[in-house]
Structure 1
Amino acid sequence: MQTTLMIYDGAAPADSDVQRTGGAPLAPSGFTWPMCGSCCGGPLQFFAHLPVEYGVLSAFVCQNEPACESWDATSGANRVYLFPRENLLPVAVPETGVTLLPITSASRTHVVTLAPEENGDHDELAPLGSLGGIPSYLEDDRLPTCPSCAGTTELAAHLEEGISMRTAMNLGGQLGYVFVCRACCNGAFLTD
């Protein structure tokens, strides 16, 4: 089985159109920063800019106090957007709330082939996650449906916290999963 790992590739400019965690989101003109729809109502933190073959995925997760249920795909405390590749601009960052990661980390892809009995441990490569695949660590009843059409979503990426405390996304020590509905151009985020 082949897996496309996202490997740490150093610092990146905050508004670059490269695969990265942190930095500022790039979005079409008129996009407004998403707010938490759970309990706090504050701005979500931007986690990842993920160019994929069918567009660019942007993942946002609530990191404000009090702690919202950001691990739940239906809580309103996270958002995933699918944007077209063209005409993306840096989004204005809200002045309050926990909105940006401290460091912007670029990643590159590295395809590995795993035998069925391997556990996928490739720590020597400093993985930040993987693209596509199967969410093998999640129970079937936790796989999210599209928030717009209630249809099936597909796993677009899994995210790991990061290689250091300064680059880390706060996932509570868990893996983060980015799901997408290509038809509706949005998706869902959850942790295991």
Structure 2
Amino acid sequence: MKFIILASLLLLPELGLAQKKPWTPIAVDKHLTVSFPSKPDEMDVPGTMAAQGASNANSPRIQASRAYRQEDACGMYVLVCVPLFEDPQLPITQSARENYYKTRTIPLLIKHARGQLLSQKIGSIDGLDVITLSYRALGATGKPTIKFFRQIIMGRTIYQLYFVPADNIGKSCEVQRLRFFNSISIKK
């Protein structure tokens, strides 16, 4: 009997029944909190854009943007917060907004990423529209990589979450990606 109890305790982590390691919540602003596997680094958005030779590196929007990045064995987790200087002009009805996202927003995001759209889903969290994508694009090493993306617009801020899997396809770390994307906590 003692052997069965000991074996059961040893197998709990393998079965995913053991308590998950707590992630680090980051209160991005007064409206949004996102959890990372561990404390992320805050990135220098204007400096990064300038180093890439972006023509808009000195724009007020880029200067006011913030980003957080963390890597582990599963991949890279990124949160980008882009301020809007006026309220977004989106269609009023849900169906009109979905059409706008599918015909304008998503094609522009994919074009900017130089990617190929693999899947798209438009949903909602706490009454806010959420765009979730997977797409294939070249990774930092120049190899084709499957990347995952989620966007929420709240007030005058665009929140974008990216997950880039270490295995370039994302199959082995789907639980971590979903945990990251689903960790969003919104306060209106």
TM-score (norm 2): 0.30
Of Structure 1 and Structure 2, which has the larger fraction of its residues in helix?
A: 2
Which structure has the greater CA radius of gyration? 2
Report 1 or 2 for greater relative contact order, CA contacts < 8 Å, sequence distance ≥ 6: 1
TM-score (norm 1): 0.29
